[in-house]
Amino acid sequence: MENRITDIVSKTDMLSDYHHIVLGLSGGPDSVCLFDVLMRAGFQIWPVHVNHMLRPGAADRDQAYVEALCEAQSLPLKVVKVDCAAMAREQGLTSEEAGRSIRYEAFREKAREVQSAIRAGEVAPGKIAIALAHHADDQAETILQRIIRGTGTDGLVGMEPVRTDESGFDIIRPLLGVRRADIEAYCEQRELHPCIDHTNSEPVYARNRIRLELIPMLERYNPRVVEAIDRLGDIAAEDKAFLDAQAEAALKNYQIWSVASSQRAFHIDLLQEPLAISRRALAHALAEIGLAEDVTAAHYKAMLALARSDKASAQVDLPHGYKARKEYDRIVLNPPESSTEALQLGDATGVTGGLAGVQVQVMDAAEYQALCVEWKPDTFACFDRGKLAARFGEAPEERILWRTRREGDVLLLRDGRKKLQDLFVDDKVPRFRRDKVRMAVIDSEVLWIPLQEGLIRRARYTAAYSVGAETTELVVVWKV
């Protein structure tokens, strides 16, 4: 059994590119098996344990087991302890959804820590992956769950063996080709004594009922039904890859580029393509402008109906304020209205309207000192005009825009550049709210993101143009 599982993992080739493995280590058989396999293969492992505080006593025993396991191997363990039930209540989520969110954020945070240590030369260089211990039975349960809830063919793909998350880290699942029974046999043979979560044997959740009731019933018709479902997932993945490529080609062929960067527009003939292509192309275009979830079959049907409409202009409302609009011979996909605005601050008046009035002004140091005492914290930002001019040329204040995010935006921090996307992930800004956050920018450099109630919890400032003792002129931006 040792050799069999090691062979399955090594033959996937998914591990060959990585040196540092951030491992989700719950203490259960699956993650402990993967921990042991990776340790014996010589990888640098960075284990992360999340205590969800859902099983009083048992959760703490799991944590103690994982701590002892890592201590025996002299590995630093990152422990995250969060009241998952309380978080679920606060955010209107199920405990499963809240737990998943907590875990993935903990894994990303550890990956960022390893990334920083590599840059600082504290650990050996190498590519980072986040490893999860999902196995073949988990895959079959996921596919069945999606079928029961209602899914398109993409839902049959199940969990991907390798994917890149929104932070740019690869998530890998080395055990996806291994059955649960084999993992348990491996742990027994290796005398690993993992923790057992007894709630997994209780039919209290939908997924548990699929595992405990539905799959055993299906095995009466086909004893190898799990393998059959997983093969279906593999075939669906191959079909998806082909259709995605066709959809991307069609989108490129029909796309119209002379529109605002926050929009996507294409010739209406795209919607005359076969349904499998046109609907997939719409999904890709919407994802590009920030709407990757919650679009239903009814929304796609309504968008495709635009091509058949006799009206020169028509509109379909999509989730979270997004819209699809027909304009004669083209279809335009728009994000929420606020995300298409870009207000010029350095105009003749120096004042802009919008949801919040913003003003920009050049001051000398004495003027600034006299006025800043009157302003409230988090309502203004100031920058060294000389430093801005050295970077952006004469009169940099005239180039400042007050807008929402665009692709390629970055914030310059003291320890390097940070993509705005990564910043929003770090600050836990929900995806559907990110296109509403306003900021002061020049080109793609973010100067200031003020505190905005319900959107972003703390102000952010660039570190590249900070005011110092040598500053003689300042560019000041503030809310009025």
- Calculate the average pLDDT of the chain: 85
The domain defined by 2-227 carries CATH number 3.40.50.620: yes
- Res. 351 pLDDT band, cuts 50 70 90: very low
pLDDT of residue 417: 87
If one compares 146 and 459, the residue with the highest pLDDT of the two is: 146
- Res. 112 pLDDT band, cuts 50 70 90: very high
CA distances from 54 to 27, 37, 60, 345 (A): 15, 28, 10, 50
- Res. 348 pLDDT band, cuts 50 70 90: very low
Q: Which pLDDT tens digit goes with each residue over 361-383?
A: 888 887 777 766 666 666 788 99
CA gap 153, 231 in Å, rounded: 14
Beta strands 380-384; 473-479: pairing state: antiparallel
Q: Which pLDDT tens digit goes with each residue over 298-323?
A: 999 999 888 888 777 788 899 988 99
Residue range 50-72: mean pLDDT, rounded? 92
Does the pLDDT at position 131 exceed 90? yes
DSSP 166-193: TTS-EEE-TTTTS-HHHHHHHHHHTT--
Domain positions in the chain: 2-227, 257-335, 339-479
pLDDT of residue 338: 43
Beta strands 20-24; 44-51: pairing state: parallel
Does the pLDDT at position 50 exceed 90? yes
pLDDT of residue 347: 36
pLDDT of residue 73: 93
Does the pLDDT at position 449 exceed 70? yes
Can you give the three-state secondary structure of 288-321, one letter per residue? HCCCCCCCCHHHHHHHHHHHHCCCCEEEEECHHH
- Res. 339 pLDDT band, cuts 50 70 90: very low
Q: Which pLDDT tens digit goes with each residue over 177-219?
A: 899 999 999 999 999 999 988 777 777 678 889 999 999 999 9
If one compares 337 and 17, the residue with the highest pLDDT of the two is: 17
- Output phi, psi for 57, to 5 deg: 85, -60
Q: Which residues pair with 440 in a beta bridge?
A: 402, 448
Q: Which pLDDT tens digit goes with each residue over 211-242?
A: 999 999 999 999 999 999 999 999 999 999 99
- Please identify which residue in the block is written with the tokens 């988990």: 138
Does the pLDDT at position 19 exceed 50? yes
Q: Which pLDDT tens digit goes with each residue over 398-433?
A: 888 888 888 889 999 887 888 998 888 887 776 666
CA gap 116, 168 in Å, rounded: 14
pLDDT of residue 422: 86
- Output phi, psi for 476, to 5 deg: -115, 130
- Output phi, psi for 194, to 5 deg: -70, 165
CATH architecture of 257-335: 2-Layer Sandwich (3.30)
If one compares 263 and 266, the residue with the highest pLDDT of the two is: 266
Residue range 147-174: mean pLDDT, rounded? 89
Residue range 448-469: mean pLDDT, rounded? 83
- Judge whether 73 and 39 are in contact, CB under 8 Å: yes
CA gap 283, 99 in Å, rounded: 28
CA distances from 79 to 44, 49, 342 (A): 18, 5, 43
